[in-house]
Amino acid sequence: MNQTLQVIDHVVPAIASLKPYIPGKPIDELERELGIRNIIKLASNENPLGPSPMALEAVQQASRDIGLYPDGSGFALKNRIAALHQVASSQITLGSGSSDPLEFVVRSFVRPGERVLFSQYAFAIYPIITHAAGGVAVAVPSRNWGYDLHALAAAITSDTRVVFIANPNNPTGTWLGEHELRQFLDRIPHDVLVVVDEAYYEYASFLTAEDRDPVPDCSRWLNDYPNLVVTRTFSKAYGLAGLRIGYSLSSVAIADMFNRIRPPFNVNSLALRAAAAALDDADHLAKTLQVNRDGRAQLMQGFSALGLKYIPTVGNFISVDLQQPAIPVYNALLHHGVIVRPIANYGMPNYLRITIGLADQNQRLLEGLKQILQG
């Protein structure tokens, strides 16, 4: 008798039927597979400058104490975040990446069979955490690659518990303005939780009221909407993806629930210290945003020169339309030592999502694309 199989038969169905998250290919893996060097990764929306030197210094200092458990309450970092957003510390939930609080939302509020809404082109984690909880994931058709808030509001039923809105959105880079988002929050039932995932918020801060409707900092709206949860991360603009740290902002009552299921010590001591230091380095953030703006212009121009259309973005990535299946081009780019992200699993089989890199990295990507598409 095969004992392994007997045990596996008892895995809860919601878990057994999950399709795991597909991350960007790590550089080491491609090195092993193809035996090539000098690989660049423009696949996971990491900061090409890396973290602030102040964050690196903080990691060095904190490394002396890694024999001790971290501060499980994250006291110092929460105070720093509270000052940044002008909220109470008790409204903050720290996580191992912002993926952690996103999962706390579903585990706290979604019973098996209840609905969780998001957009057709949305972060792959939302359906995964929904399915894991036995919830029903509903992908609402997009409009112009972004969120269709009217369709989203119309899809809310009495058994809808959570709506996930990434602003700016991944994998499309589209964004919602202050006015339309407020209108949405005003018209939906107050017993539906709205999570605004602001993983790319910093990159969109160049939009001003003159541009159109600027991207709102929804942490300012927590007093107006008790059903609002806002998530932020240190993985993107702050360049700390490898340390795994992010947070949510919510009402105190919701944060209290998250705190009950939060694994003890879910944020390590290096991450706690590095994140606080990163918030203090305004210069590094400004540099990061400048590099991103320049790289964005460089890539847009390069794509246009190749006759390629792309989705207008306010994030640190651009999704480009190859007008042919993107996986073969992705594979060919790997042989050029350039890792990008095919997004067929997001229902966009002709697109590559390309993280905006440093000028020479962008150049290598564009040259590789040119050779592959015109060679």
Ligand X SMILES: *Cc1c(COP(=O)(O)O)cnc(C)c1O
**Residue showing the smallest CB distance to ligand X in the complex:** 97
Exposed/middle/buried for 355, CB within 10 Å: 0-12, 13-18, 19+? buried
Position 120 contacts ligand X (CB under 6 A): no
CA-CA distance, 276 to 79, in Å (whole number)?
9
Q: Which stretch binds ligand X (CB under 6 A): 112-120, 206-214, 235-243, 301-309?
A: 235-243
Instruction: For ligand X, give the closer residue by CB, 93 or 235.
Output: 235
Position 361 contacts ligand X (CB under 6 A): no
Position 123 contacts ligand X (CB under 6 A): yes
Q: Which member of 153, 196, 241, 278 binds ligand X (CB under 6 A)?
A: 241
Instruction: For ligand X, give the closer residue by CB, 131 or 236.
Output: 236
- Please report where in the chains the tokens 């602001």 appear, as a residue: 198
CA-CA distance, 148 to 141, in Å (whole number)?
7
**Least distance to ligand X, CB of residue 100, Å:** 7
Position 127 contacts ligand X (CB under 6 A): no
Neighbours of 342 (CB within 10 A): 24
Instruction: For ligand X, give the closer residue by CB, 74 or 368.
Output: 74
Position 316 contacts ligand X (CB under 6 A): no
**Least distance to ligand X, CB of residue 93, Å:** 13
Instruction: For ligand X, give the closer residue by CB, 45 or 251.
Output: 45
List of residues 6+ apart from 45 with CB closer than 8 A: 170, 200, 236, 315, 316, 317, 355
Q: Which stretch binds ligand X (CB under 6 A): 27-35, 65-73, 185-193, 228-236?
A: 228-236
250, 235 Cβ separation under 8 angstroms: no
CA-CA distance, 122 to 171, in Å (whole number)?
6
Q: Which stretch binds ligand X (CB under 6 A): 107-115, 178-186, 232-240, 302-310?
A: 232-240
Residues of span 31-70 touching ligand X by CB under 6 A: 45
Structure token digits, residue 20 = 């795991």
Position 118 contacts ligand X (CB under 6 A): no
Q: Which member of 235, 248, 250, 313 binds ligand X (CB under 6 A)?
A: 235
CA-CA distance, 85 to 75, in Å (whole number)?
16
Position 170 contacts ligand X (CB under 6 A): yes
Residues of span 138-167 touching ligand X by CB under 6 A: 166
**Least distance to ligand X, CB of residue 326, Å:** 19
Position 199 contacts ligand X (CB under 6 A): yes
Q: Which stretch binds ligand X (CB under 6 A): 33-41, 92-100, 217-225, 352-360?
A: 92-100
Position 197 contacts ligand X (CB under 6 A): yes
Instruction: For ligand X, give the closer residue by CB, 125 or 192.
Output: 125
Instruction: For ligand X, give the closer residue by CB, 45 or 366.
Output: 45
Instruction: For ligand X, give the closer residue by CB, 337 or 355.
Output: 355
Position 130 contacts ligand X (CB under 6 A): no
CA-CA distance, 94 to 119, in Å (whole number)?
26
Q: Which member of 47, 142, 172, 233 binds ligand X (CB under 6 A)?
A: 233
Q: Which stretch binds ligand X (CB under 6 A): 7-15, 68-76, 77-85, 97-105?
A: 97-105
Q: Which stretch binds ligand X (CB under 6 A): 57-65, 81-89, 180-188, 230-238?
A: 230-238
Which of 368, 359, 366 lies closest to 49, judged by CA? 359
- List of residues contacting ligand X (CB under 6 A): 45, 97-99, 123, 166, 170, 197, 199, 233, 235-236, 241, 246
